[in-house]
Amino acid sequence: MRCLNIIGCGSLGQSLARLWRDNEVFQIGHILNRSIESAQSAVDYIGDGTAAERIEEIIPSDSYLIATADSQIQASAEALAASRKVDSNTLVFHCSGVLSSDLLSSLREQGASVASAHPLRSFARPILSKEEFSGTYCAIEGDDKARVVLSKAFEAIGASIIAIDAKDKALYHAAGAIVCNYLTTLMELGLQTYEESGIERDLALKMIEPFVRGTLDNFFAVGPVKGLSGPIARGDCETIESHLRALEDWSQPKADLYRLMGQITLELSRKQGTASEEALQGLEALLKGSKRTSH
């Protein structure tokens, strides 16, 4: 079995290390955090490994995970390279979603095979079992040898592997922010709009729950084109015009955002084909118009 040393073993490092150890994928070697107390508590949680206080204490191994915060990965890689603990048989990887394996080039220069492997899920709460982790998508890029070993290691704990190009990682990560973080933002904007219309936030939250859940269920059941409903799908220019007027009276930036979202919605409506071409052109003029809608 391969032996994994971990530099930076917090939320993600502890969950993955425990899953790998429980499923006999990696044995855990040394763990180095900023403080020895934190490294020891990671060892206690994982049930394997040895806490190290300094990089010099780490016994060289065939595999290293650098799971510090993103801002510390390159410095940690350079410190590992300076300690001369890697060679052509060593695998080194990090798990950042936005940064690529090029961050580990100081180790690649010493012959190590390097990669990044990003599991698309939150580790804010510890993940205790393979059942819980199963179905997590993991985007991997990097050197061939490293990709093969890491694909097997993640598959062994239930992940589905997808390949990503190093140059596309920032866009890949932005997509995650859009679908996850901005979905929250979009619902917050909806609540603010209900409040502006005189409906209290607590009531609005209750009102939208079945509405939003139904939309999401429909989206995943039939996809965005078939799943689209509402005035842009129907080609209802008058309703969109009245939305824009009301939003502009309240907040021009919010009206601008509505227009931008509307333009993407219009592309879906075109593909759906429910609205007439004339109505679609009318909607396009309204949604692309930067001037205030006439009262």
Identify which of residues 7 and 283 has a Cβ nearer to ligand NAP in the complex: 7
- The answer to whether residues 142 and 101 touch, using CB atoms and an 8 Å cutoff, is yes
Least distance from C-beta 71 to ligand NAP, angstroms? 8
Least distance from C-beta 7 to ligand NAP, angstroms? 5
Identify which of residues 57 and 238 has a Cβ nearer to ligand NAP in the complex: 57
DSSP state of 68: S
Least distance from C-beta 123 to ligand NAP, angstroms? 4
d(CA 223, CA 261): 17
- CB closest to ligand NAP, residue no: 10
Least distance from C-beta 263 to ligand NAP, angstroms? 32
Using only C-alpha atoms, the chain has a radius of gyration, in whole angstroms, of: 25
Identify which of residues 7 and 112 has a Cβ nearer to ligand NAP in the complex: 7
Q: Alpha carbon of 173 to those of 33, 68, 168, 261: distances in Å?
A: 26, 18, 9, 20
Least distance from C-beta 145 to ligand NAP, angstroms? 21
Identify which of residues 117 and 233 has a Cβ nearer to ligand NAP in the complex: 117
Q: Alpha carbon of 126 to those of 45, 64, 120: distances in Å?
A: 10, 21, 15
Least distance from C-beta 289 to ligand NAP, angstroms? 41
Kindly give, in sequence order, each residue whose CB lies less than 8 Å from that of residue 166, ignoring residues fewer than 6 positions away.
Answer: 100, 101, 102, 116, 141, 142
Identify which of residues 32 and 104 has a Cβ nearer to ligand NAP in the complex: 32
Alpha helices (H) in 30-180, listed in sequence order: 36-46, 70-82, 105-108, 130-133, 144-155, 169-176
Least distance from C-beta 138 to ligand NAP, angstroms? 10
Alpha helices (H) in the chain, listed in sequence order: 11-22, 36-46, 70-82, 105-108, 130-133, 144-155, 169-176, 182-196, 201-227, 231-234, 237-250, 252-272, 277-288
d(CA 182, CA 203): 22
Q: Which residues bind ligand NAP (CB under 6 A)?
A: 7-13, 32-35, 38, 67-70, 72, 76, 94-97, 118-119, 122-124
Q: Token pair of 28, please?
A: 């855990």
Least distance from C-beta 179 to ligand NAP, angstroms? 15
Strand partners, 93: 65, 115
- The answer to whether residues 266 and 280 touch, using CB atoms and an 8 Å cutoff, is yes
Identify which of residues 183 and 285 has a Cβ nearer to ligand NAP in the complex: 183
Identify which of residues 127 and 228 has a Cβ nearer to ligand NAP in the complex: 127
d(CA 75, CA 72): 5
Identify which of residues 124 and 163 has a Cβ nearer to ligand NAP in the complex: 124
